[in-house]
Structure 1
C-alpha cells in the first residue's frame, strides 16, 4: 500500500464496509490461497475449444496478475529453487507434453495459483514459509493438476451457467422467498463444485509428487504450516474453525485428510526426498515481508521510508499491509483502514471531510485539529449498522486517512482511535535512514540452541510474538531443542 506516489480517492466508508470488491482477475485466476474464493475462466468445455484458447487467456491475463501482485520477483536463488523441481514434476504429471510458464510474484502473501495455458504463479511469501524442496514441489504439483484437469475452463463454464440461472430466477420468479432459496442452493452447488476441484487437485498433486521422487507427505505438512500462519496473522484467535460452505476452498482439516490419505496409499512416512538444507540455502537472503515501495510493518507500527511517515496501533491489533491500504483489526471487532488521497482541490480539510466521500457523516462531529504539528480533521459517521471514526492528516497535497469501524463502539473504541492518530508523525532523516528491508537469514543450529533463544534475534516482529513466529516459520515445536546442525530461518533487517 501507499507506494511513493499516493493513489487518489481509494474508496469510501460505504464501499469499505460492504467489502464488495470483485475484480476482473477473480474471473480468471484459479487461486489456491488458504482463505478466500477463486473462480476461473473459459467459455466452453474441453473438447470444443478452438486451438490455443487456454493459452490466449493465460497470455492476456498474465500482465494483470503480475501488476496486481507487485511485479515479478527476481532472485537467482529463489528462481533456482523453483526451477529445480519443475522438470521432474512435468515428467511425472498426467500430461508430460504440457508446457508451463512459472512466475515468482513480489508479494508477501502466502499464495499460488494457475491460469489456463500453463501459467503458474507462486509468491515469494509462500517460498519463505516453505522449509524444503518437497513442500515447494507439493504446491507446484497441485497447481499443475489444475492445468492438466482443465479446472480453469470447467469453472468458467459453471460460473456462466450459474450467472444465467440467477438472472432467470431474479427476473422471472415472482415469489421472493422461493427465489432466495433457489439462489442459495445455486451458490452452494457452485461452491461445492470448486471445492471438489481443489480436493481433486490435492490428490493428483500428491500422486505426482511421489512419482517425481519427493516426500508425498509434504503436501499435508505445508497445509498445516499455512493454517498455523493464517491463525498467527488473525487478530481473533477464538474465531470459529468451522468450514465456510460458500467458500470455493474446502476446510483445511478436510484437505489435510485427503492429503494424508493419498500419501499413505503410496507408503509410510519417511519416503521421498525433502532436501531442506539445499532449499534453505537457495532462499537465504530473500526479501521477506513488505516491498520497500509499499512501506513496512514493524510489529504494531507502519513506517514508510519514501513518504517519510509512520504510525502505531494499540496493543491487541494486528497490522496488514495490502496493495489498497494498510489494514488492522483486533479480537473485539474493531477494524482500521489507513490510506491516502489527493486533497489539493480543497481549501480546508473540513471542506474535504464534507465533500461526500463519507456516507452517513455526522456534520456536527467534524472538528479541525493538529496532530504532531500537522493540520488535521476528525469526524464520525454511522451507516448500515457501523459506527465510524475518521481522521485526515494533511502533508502537502496528500490527505492521510484513518478510518475506524465498529458495530459496538465504546470508550475503548474512541481511545484506540485517538491513540492511533496521535501516533502519526513525519519520520526524521535518521529514522528513515535506519529503515531497511527484512530478509531471510539461514543459520545452522549450534549446541544449546532452542527456538526461544534463536527467536530473540528476529526483527520486524513484536517481542511477545517472536517465538510463535519462529516456530511457524521453521515448522518446529517451540518447546523442543533444535538438533545441532539443523538449518533454520531467521528474519532480520
Structure 2
C-alpha cells in the first residue's frame, strides 16, 4: 500500500466509462486499409483510454524515475512514428492521437495497452529485458494492439461491459502463467480471470508480427525479442504453476520465440546491421528496484509494517495479506472474514469521514461512536448490509488520523459469523500503531546492480557478489538470459541484485 489513495474496482471503471458505448461502427482498419466493423469509433477508443488511464495509475502506482520514464517514452514515440498510424494515407484522427508510455511500480513482468494510445510496462518487465532491441519489440507489440484496434474488435464480437474490456486489455500481458490473477489485480473468480486473458491468439500473433515490424523499421534487430520470450518460458517453468490450456489465449512463450525469429528474418539486411544497444539499455536500468518493494509495506513476523507511512499492526494467524498501491486486503484462511485498510482522500478528519460514511444508503447501523485504540482516537461504525447473491453482511469500520492521513480500517463477515470474527478483527484494527523499530523503518529494496565480468568467468561464480538472496543462481541466470554454466567474455555487462536490508 503506497500513498495512492483511491481504490479501483471493476465496477468503478464501468461507472466511469458509462455513456461512452455506442453501437457497431464501420471504419478503416489501420493495418490493412479495409473497411471493418468495430465496437467503437476511434474517438470513443481514445475516450476510453483517457478515462481508464488515471484508474490504472491509481491501482498500480507510477515508478518514480523521471529519466527512465523519459527514456521509455522516447523509444515508444520513435516506434509510433513508424507504425501504421503515422504512415502516408493514415486518417487525420490517427495522426492526431497522442501516445503515452508509463512505467508502473509493479514487480510483475507485464506490459499492456489501452485503446487510444496508452501503453504500460512494469519495472518488473524492464528488469528482465536485456537490451533496447528487446524493449522495442515489446513496445511495438503493445502499439500493435492499439493500431490494430483489438479492443474494439473484441467489443464487436462480445457483449461485455467496458470495464471488462479494460481489464481484458490489462490482462493482455506478456507473462501468462503462475500467479497471473493474483499478481495483476487480485480479483478472484474464474469469470474475471477469463477476462484477463481476453485477446485472441490471432490478435496476439498479429501484435507480435507488428512488434517485429515496427522495431525493425525503427532500426532494431527484432530477432533479439526471441531471447525475452525464452526468459518468460523459463520463468513459467521455474514457477511450476501453469495456466490450464483452456485459459490460454496467448501463444506459448516458446512458440513466440520461434515465430519472432522467423518474422525478423523478413526485415534482416546483412549489409546494414541493426541496433541492439545492450550497454546503453543496461545503463538505463542500473539501480532499478527489483521485486516487491518493502518500503511500501510487507509482513514481518506477525505484523504488517509500512516503512514509508510509518505504521504497523498485528496480522492474525492464518490471514493472507494482499498489498496493493491503493489498499491493503486481508483474508482469513477459511475465507469467511476479510479486512481492508486504505487512506480516505475525500475527508480531512476521521470525524467527517465517519459522518459521511454513516449517511450512506443500503445499510443498517447497529452501533457507532468514538473509542480509544492505543494512542489513537477512532470513530467506529458497526452495521449490516446486503450484498446481492450472498447472505447479510455485518461489518465494523474504524476511521482514524495518523501521520497526516485519514485511514479507514474495515472488517466484515457474514452476519452469522460476526460475533466470532469480531474477536479477531477488532484487536487487529486496534493494534494499528506507529512503527518505531529503526531497522524496520530503514529497510531497503533490492535493486539491480550492473557489473562488468572479468575475462573467462563462469556466471555461477559471479553470483556470489549479489548481496540479495531473493533470487537463486538459476533465477539470476534467467534475469540475465544466461545459463548458470555460461562463461562470460571479459567486459560483458551482467545484472546482480544489491540491497541494504539486513532484516528480511
TM-score interval for Structure 1 and Structure 2 normalised by the shorter chain: 0.5 to 0.7
Q: 1:91 to 1:189 in 2, by over 3 A?
A: closer
After TM superposition, list the pairs within 5 Å mapping 1:180-199 onto structure 2.
194=200, 196-199=202-205
1:324 and 1:190 map into 2 onto residues whose CA distance is 20
2:311 aligns with 309
Q: 1:116 to 1:370 in 2, by over 3 A?
A: closer
Is the 1:114–1:147 contact (alpha carbons within 8 Å) kept by the matching residues of 2? yes
Q: 1:348 to 1:321 in 2, by over 3 A?
A: closer
Is the 2:458–2:488 contact (alpha carbons within 8 Å) kept by the matching residues of 1? no
Aligned with 1:403: secondary structure? strand
1:147 and 1:227 map into 2 onto residues whose CA distance is 27
Gaps of 5+ in 1: 29-38, 164-187, 232-236
Aligned with 1:46: secondary structure? strand
* Counterpart check, 1:400 vs 2:408: yes
Q: 1:347 to 1:257 in 2, by over 3 A?
A: closer
2:48 and 2:427 map into 1 onto residues whose CA distance is 46
2:473 and 2:420 map into 1 onto residues whose CA distance is 27
Q: Deviations over 1:297-329 (max 9, x none)?
A: 245534163x54233646876654434312355
* Counterpart check, 1:217 vs 2:226: yes
1:476 and 1:388 map into 2 onto residues whose CA distance is 51
Is the 1:145–1:204 contact (alpha carbons within 8 Å) kept by the matching residues of 2? yes
Aligned with 2:142: secondary structure? helix
* Counterpart check, 1:80 vs 2:87: no
Q: Deviations over 1:206-254 (max 9, x none)?
A: 455567422141452364477589x6xxxxx97x722575xxxx445x3
Q: 1:95 to 1:216 in 2, by over 3 A?
A: farther
1:45 aligns with 26
Aligned with 2:26: secondary structure? coil
Is the 1:308–1:432 contact (alpha carbons within 8 Å) kept by the matching residues of 2? no
Aligned with 1:241: secondary structure? coil
Instruction: Say what the alpha-carbon RMSD is for the aligned residues.
Output: 5.8
Aligned with 1:280: secondary structure? helix
Aligned with 1:490: secondary structure? strand
1:296 aligns with 296
1:368 and 1:451 map into 2 onto residues whose CA distance is 61
Instruction: Tell me which moved more, 129-138 or 429-438.
Output: 429-438
Q: 1:335 to 1:429 in 2, by over 3 A?
A: closer
1:343 and 1:403 map into 2 onto residues whose CA distance is 22
1:282 aligns with 284
1:20 and 1:409 map into 2 onto residues whose CA distance is 27
**Equivalent residues, number:** 421
Aligned with 1:260: secondary structure? helix
1:192 and 1:213 map into 2 onto residues whose CA distance is 29
2:407 and 2:85 map into 1 onto residues whose CA distance is 54
1:322 aligns with 324
Q: CA deviation at 1:491?
A: 5.7
Q: CA deviation at 1:444?
A: 4.3
1:54 aligns with 42
1:354 and 1:257 map into 2 onto residues whose CA distance is 54
1:313 and 1:340 map into 2 onto residues whose CA distance is 19
Q: Deviations over 1:431-476 (max 9, x none)?
A: 8974777754434467687599659733xxxx7x554996498256
Is the 2:288–2:447 contact (alpha carbons within 8 Å) kept by the matching residues of 1? yes
Aligned with 1:137: secondary structure? helix
1:370 and 1:142 map into 2 onto residues whose CA distance is 54
1:337 aligns with 340
Q: CA deviation at 1:368?
A: 8.2
1:46 and 1:3 map into 2 onto residues whose CA distance is 42
Gaps of 5+ in 2: 29-34, 162-193, 269-273
Is the 2:2–2:324 contact (alpha carbons within 8 Å) kept by the matching residues of 1? no
Find 1:201's aligned residue among 195, 203, 207.
207
Q: CA deviation at 1:335?
A: 5.2
Q: CA deviation at 1:401?
A: 0.3
Q: CA deviation at 1:132?
A: 2.8
Q: 1:394 to 1:152 in 2, by over 3 A?
A: closer
Q: CA deviation at 1:283?
A: 1.5
Aligned with 2:25: secondary structure? coil
Is the 1:42–1:54 contact (alpha carbons within 8 Å) kept by the matching residues of 2? no
1:470 and 1:285 map into 2 onto residues whose CA distance is 18
1:132 aligns with 131
Bigger relative CO (Cα 8 Å, ≥ 6 apart): 1
* Counterpart check, 1:105 vs 2:102: yes
Q: Deviations over 1:106-141 (max 9, x none)?
A: 521354333555553434443244333233223212
Is the 1:120–1:143 contact (alpha carbons within 8 Å) kept by the matching residues of 2? yes
2:22 and 2:476 map into 1 onto residues whose CA distance is 38
Is the 1:89–1:137 contact (alpha carbons within 8 Å) kept by the matching residues of 2? no
Aligned with 1:131: secondary structure? coil
1:316 and 1:189 map into 2 onto residues whose CA distance is 30
1:490 aligns with 497
Is the 1:314–1:420 contact (alpha carbons within 8 Å) kept by the matching residues of 2? yes
Q: 1:145 to 1:369 in 2, by over 3 A?
A: same
Is the 1:392–1:402 contact (alpha carbons within 8 Å) kept by the matching residues of 2? yes
Q: 1:228 to 1:67 in 2, by over 3 A?
A: farther
Is the 2:103–2:121 contact (alpha carbons within 8 Å) kept by the matching residues of 1? no
Instruction: Tell me which moved more, 334-343 or 275-284.
Output: 334-343
